[in-house]
Homo-oligomer: A and B are copies of this chain.
């Protein structure tokens, strides 16, 4: 493969994670080692910013800032949920593609890296195909990230280890708190975590048990398994009878037998006639409190869980950096249209490697928890899941602190001069 000289563009897409910036740091650091890569640019707010030719010059950032990205949550380059949709909006999609390649060409972008989840891998794949079709020499790589852990082919996704590490410590701490207040009256606390389709995040809180079946969480409700309300209430009752309290974790997308999300009950309207914004935990709390007359409180971690870099997994950060670097090496080596993935060599001791997967196998495919990793009654991931998840939360990220708070990195974002007319 002939050496390809030119500039590199990296951008981020979709919901952020604690380590999506670590992947970008991996890309940038590795890119600095290759002479064929001339300038390193960042695209602001993913595809959306690139369409508007909003690029920043990474060479202008201080090297300390690039290192700081490894422990900074959220998307330092900004992100977007913009989709190039050839099916629903073919004309708009064709226009967008024309514009993207105008921008690539104007800035001599020959290496393009897109960090994101399912949709973003799909976008990267489309851009790769388009480059081939147009005969525009550019190497396109997807870089995986998603707290949802629902990408296929890779053992797991960067971002996942950190979210379940934070959620597990949170559930353990809530469990100590509620347990220490528990009296014969009993009490219940329901913790809602992210995960609309796949239950990987909710399942990961099983690690809070630290091997002790008596420890919380006592029940984990996964979106993959339809809620059997009677069995659930029976289980809450028996847990409270044994421990005087019950900690339930639910994925936000938990569904009833009819396949409807229980947190999106359209019959509860607020003063404006909109559905009440409550969510799965509050809906479950209404059921538990109403039917068991048991004091029930809820916790909804929301965005906090995917941004909790103050308690991120060092393993997760290391893997995110490695995947970013690996994407660059593969591209320099002539590859395009791939996503580096994590391959597990061994769980104990935990050993992993990186390999390449064609983007066409990734785009828009969702990966769910195998049914045989969950207890027969559906209320708890089993030892196969624990073996899988436990190594992913190992290691503490050390974040520089000042005034008692982490010092996260904010990029200077020095703009690259625009060369094109504004997008029409």
Contacts and interface: CB of A to CB of B under 8 A. Distances in A.
A325 interface: no
A307 B16 contact: no
Interface stretch (A85-93, A119-127, A369-377, A402-410): A402-410
B271 A277 contact: no
Given A297-B302, A302-B297, A405-B207, A307 B274 contact: no
Contacts of A72: 176
A268 interface: yes
A309 B175 CA distance: 13
A262 B380 CA distance: 36
A75 B180 contact: yes
A79 B181 contact: yes
Contacts of A406: 169, 172
Given A73-B173, A169-B405, A183-B45, A286 B270 contact: yes
Nearest to A167: B304
A189 interface: yes
A307 B277 contact: no
A411 to B, nearest CB: 11
Interface in A33-73: 45, 48, 72-73
Nearest to A314: B404
Interface string A383-424: 000000010011110000111111010000000000000000
A352 interface: no
Contacts of A282: 276-278, 282
Nearest to A270: B286
A277 B304 contact: no
A28 interface: no
Question: Interface centre among A165, A169, A183, by most B CB within 10 Å?
Answer: A169
Contact of A278 (B174, B278, B290): B278
A255 interface: no
A358 interface: no
Interface string A198-210: 0000000001101
Given A277-B289, A307-B174, A394 B390 contact: no
A403 B168 CA distance: 11
A6 interface: no
A308 B301 CA distance: 13
A307 B15 contact: no
Contacts of A304: 170, 173-174, 191, 299, 301
Contacts of A110: none
Contact of A408 (B168, B172, B286, B311): B172
Given A289-B274, A297-B302, A177 B307 contact: yes
Interface in A178-199: 178-183, 189, 191
Contact of A290 (B271, B309, B408): B271
A76 interface: yes
A299 B306 CA distance: 12
12 contacts: A16-B180, A75-B181, A78-B181, A170-B308, A210-B403, A268-B270, A272-B286, A272-B290, A276-B276, A277-B296, A278-B278, A301-B304
Given A81-B181, A276-B286, 12 more contacts: A170-B308, A173-B308, A174-B303, A176-B307, A207-B405, A276-B276, A276-B278, A276-B282, A282-B282, A299-B300, A393-B405, A394-B404
